[in-house]
């Protein structure tokens, strides 16, 4: 959905004044979206954020030809206001989020994100900090593990899986992904395994979200992006599961609603919406896009435009 993201952001990124528009790629990854933004909008300055140092190194090589138009920063995307402040940028004119795990992280076997290949159970996007997925599996109390699998993986068989994990970790701590996949396959009823793809996918998603604090970061990041956006600026968000999309939807819907007490004949400016929704619900990828890239299948795109400044601004 890259082209649609660019189209959504375009009205904010076509330069109209002396100051170049600033677009923030909050999830830099390998730099594909950033490269497309810098190419299509030759007048913009790009700030790219990523918590993964290897992603920053590789995207830096890819974007080197754009020189000082691209500034890459080692940061989690809820740090967006601090990054802009450090760089002396008063507001962003475009913000892009492409949430979830990157293709690079899925494809690098030693990161432990993919259930299809054996690897150390790490799953940290920033391998310099935090606890690994193996530590979560080996140390969390059973009730907490059940909560993680249910809340972040929407796993209906969480109790059954956790019972097997607790039994197995007492025998030998978990270190690699293949053993966990095998355990999940053995723990689930045949009827469950016949549908829905790999039976380990929900558990792996839940562990990844827990290890990286993805939802708590997103809860802070989307309001922070709205607050950092100039009037007329736009945000595009690609989500890949319902938990992410629900959070984005709630923030956007709240910003697009007026906050006036009921019954006022005229709504004062301070109660007017500060956002305008750019998508009707969540836009889905086309069949052609899914055929080209099966990882795009669960994508959901939402966009907003900032239409009013805060009272202090």
Q: Is 31 annotated as a binding residue?
A: yes
d(CA 255, CA 272): 9
CA angle in degrees (0–180, nearest 5) for 24-253-305: 40
Question: Measured in Å, how far apart are the chain's first and last C-alpha atoms?
Answer: 33
d(CA 278, CA 94): 13
Q: Is 85 annotated as a binding residue?
A: no
Q: Is 110 annotated as a binding residue?
A: no
Cβ within 8 Å of residue 66, ≥6 positions away: 38, 46
Write the DSSP string, 83-110.
HHHHTT---EEEEEEE-S--HHHHH-GG
Q: Is 33 annotated as a binding residue?
A: yes
Neighbours of 87 (CB within 10 A): 12
Bridge partners for 236 per DSSP: 96, 303
Nearest to 51 by CA among 75, 22, 32: 75
Q: Is 105 annotated as a binding residue?
A: yes
HEC per residue, 165-228: HHHHHHHCCCCEHHHHHHHHHHHCCHHHHCCCCCCCHHHHHHHHHHHHCHHHHHHHHHHHHHHC
SS3 24: strand
d(CA 244, CA 252): 13
Nearest to 9 by CA among 98, 129, 78: 98
SS3 302: strand
Summarize the annotated binding site as residue ranges: 31-33, 50, 77, 98, 105
Known binding residues for S-adenosyl-L-methionine: 31-33, 50, 77, 98, 105
């Amino acid at each position: 959905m890259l082209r649609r993201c660019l189209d959504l952001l375009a009205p904010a990124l076509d330069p109209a004044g002396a100051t170049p528009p600033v677009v923030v790629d909050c999830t830099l990854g390998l730099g594909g979206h950033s490269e497309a933004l810098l190419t299509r909008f030759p007048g913009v300055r790009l700030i790219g954020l990523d918590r993964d140092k290897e992603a920053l190194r590789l995207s830096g090589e890819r974007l080197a030809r754009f020189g000082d138009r691209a500034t890459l920063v080692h940061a989690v995307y809820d740090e967006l206001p601090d990054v802009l402040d450090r760089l002396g940028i008063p507001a962003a004119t475009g913000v892009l989020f492409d949430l979830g795990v990157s293709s690079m992280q899925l494809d690098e076997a030693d990161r432990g994100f993919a259930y299809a290949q054996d690897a150390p159970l790490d799953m940290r996007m920033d391998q310099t900090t935090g606890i690994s997925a193996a530590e979560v599996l080996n140390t969390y109390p059973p009730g907490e593990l059940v909560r993680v699998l249910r809340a972040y993986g929407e796993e209906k068989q969480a109790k059954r899986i956790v019972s097997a994990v607790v039994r197995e970790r007492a025998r030998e701590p978990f270190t690699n992904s293949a053993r966990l996949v095998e355990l999940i396959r053995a723990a689930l009823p045949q009827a469950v395994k016949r549908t829905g793809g790999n039976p380990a996918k929900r558990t792996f998603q839940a562990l990844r979200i827990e290890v990286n604090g993805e939802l708590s970061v997103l809860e802070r990041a989307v309001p922070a992006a709205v607050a950092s956006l100039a009037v007329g600026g736009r945000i595009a968000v690609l989500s890949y599961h319902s938990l992410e999309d629900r959070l984005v939807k709630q923030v956007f819907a709240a910003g697009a609603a007026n906050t006036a007490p009921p019954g006022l004949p005229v709504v004062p400016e301070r109660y007017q919406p500060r956002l305008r929704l750019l998508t009707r619900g969540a836009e889905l990828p086309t069949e052609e896009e899914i055929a080209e890239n099966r990882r795009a299948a669960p994508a959901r795109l939402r966009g907003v435009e900032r239409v009013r400044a805060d009272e202090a601004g």
